[in-house]
Amino acid sequence: MIHPTAIIDPKASVGADCTIGPYCVIGPDVVLGDRCRLHAHVVIDGHTVLGAENEIFPLPASA
């Protein structure tokens, strides 16, 4: 499931059964493995490769 407000570059590779939450941004050189879960407001950019079944949270407001 990809939330309609998420922005995913067409060059990015998103694995099967990934969940991408609201306002996430995925850059062109990103590879997400199967079943990854990105919560709201997550930004992944640069040359980044994640394996299967990762769960990514945004930084807390106080960080």
What residue spans define the domains of the chain?
7-56
Cβ atoms of 28 and 48 closer than 8 Å: no
Report pLDDT for 63: 62
Where helices occur in 1-63 by DSSP H, the ranges are: none
Report pLDDT for 19: 98
pLDDT digits (tens, 9 = 90+) for 6-62: 999 999 999 999 999 999 999 999 999 999 999 999 999 999 999 999 999 998 877
Cβ atoms of 29 and 11 closer than 8 Å: yes
Nearest Cα residue to 37 out of 11, 7, 1? 1
Question: Which residue reads 């980044």 in tokens?
Answer: 48
